[in-house]
Amino acid sequence: MTAPLRPDLAIIAANVAPGSSVLDVGCGDGALLSALRERHCDARGMELDPANVAQCVARGLSVIQGDADADLSFYPDASIDYAILSQTLQTTKRPDLVLEELLRIGRRAVVSFPNFAHWRVRLALLWGGRMPVTRLLPVAWYETPNIHHVTIDDFRALLKDRGIRVEQAWFLKGDRLTGAAAANLRAEHAVFLLSR
């Protein structure tokens, strides 16, 4: 029995072509990699936390202990079909450079992140006057790994600026999809399929 996939990972798993090659950057305990392996993908991972890496290897997955900010440069150009970054973009030192690296290594990139412009986040800041602590952003400002909070509209602006094409996008409220209209206000979470 495997636990159900996190909603954004389920979307990613369902939209990666079976049999393709995948690099999951920040693969955690390997939940997505396991799901992709069942879809006959050549699924590899990169993960910062050695305990997570050990758990992945014990599951028979191929995972490298590494840092998205530093270690992506060692992967050859266009060497994989999908470079995936799920809930990791906001923890990197230079999200823009990491994004460029993903699209250099992968023919496509998939990026998911919590939306900092969700109405609950806005309300917390507006009424509470404090940095929000929500379901998707559960850690106080001083100890959060999320050092680059980003909104859906911020991300779209970055893509436009860098000439990156959105092939598809999904927006999540809880574990359910929500429309693209007013997603920046209504979505807690976004998943983008990108290419150059």
Partner 1 sequence: MATAPLPAASQVLDLTAPLPLDCGKDLPGVRIAYETYGTLDAEASNAILICHALTGDQYVASPHPITGKPGWWVRMVGPGLPIDTDRHFVICANVIGSCMGSTGPASPAPDGQPWAMRFPVITIRDMVRGHIALLDALGIARLHAVVGGSMGGMQALSLAANFADRVERALVIASTARHSAQNIAFHEVGRQAIMADPEWRGGDYYAAAGKGPEKGLAVARMAAHITYLSEEGMHEKFGRNLQDRDAKTFGFDADFQVESYLRHQGLSFTDRFDANAYLYITRAMDYFDLAEEHGGRLASAFAGSRTRFCLVSFDTDWLYPTAESRRIAHALNAAGCPVSFMELSAPFGHDSFLLDVPTLDRVVAGFLG
Task: Rank residues 65 and 178 by Cβ distance to partner 1 and give the closer one.
Answer: 65
For position 51 contacting partner 1 by CB under 8 A, the verdict is: yes
For position 79 contacting partner 1 by CB under 8 A, the verdict is: yes
For position 81 contacting partner 1 by CB under 8 A, the verdict is: no
Q: Smallest gap, in angstroms, from Cβ of residue 43 to partner 1?
A: 10
According to CB under 8 A, which one of 14, 17, 19, 62 is a site residue for partner 1?
62
The interface mask with partner 1, positions 135-174, x = CB under 8 A, is ----------------------------------------
Q: Smallest gap, in angstroms, from Cβ of residue 23 to partner 1?
A: 9
**Phi and psi for 98 in degrees, rounded to 5?**
-65, -40
Task: Rank residues 15 and 65 by Cβ distance to partner 1 and give the closer one.
Answer: 65
Task: Rank residues 39 and 122 by Cβ distance to partner 1 and give the closer one.
Answer: 39
According to CB under 8 A, which one of 1, 3, 58, 181 is a site residue for partner 1?
58
For position 77 contacting partner 1 by CB under 8 A, the verdict is: no
For position 42 contacting partner 1 by CB under 8 A, the verdict is: yes
CB atoms within 10 A of CB 9: 22
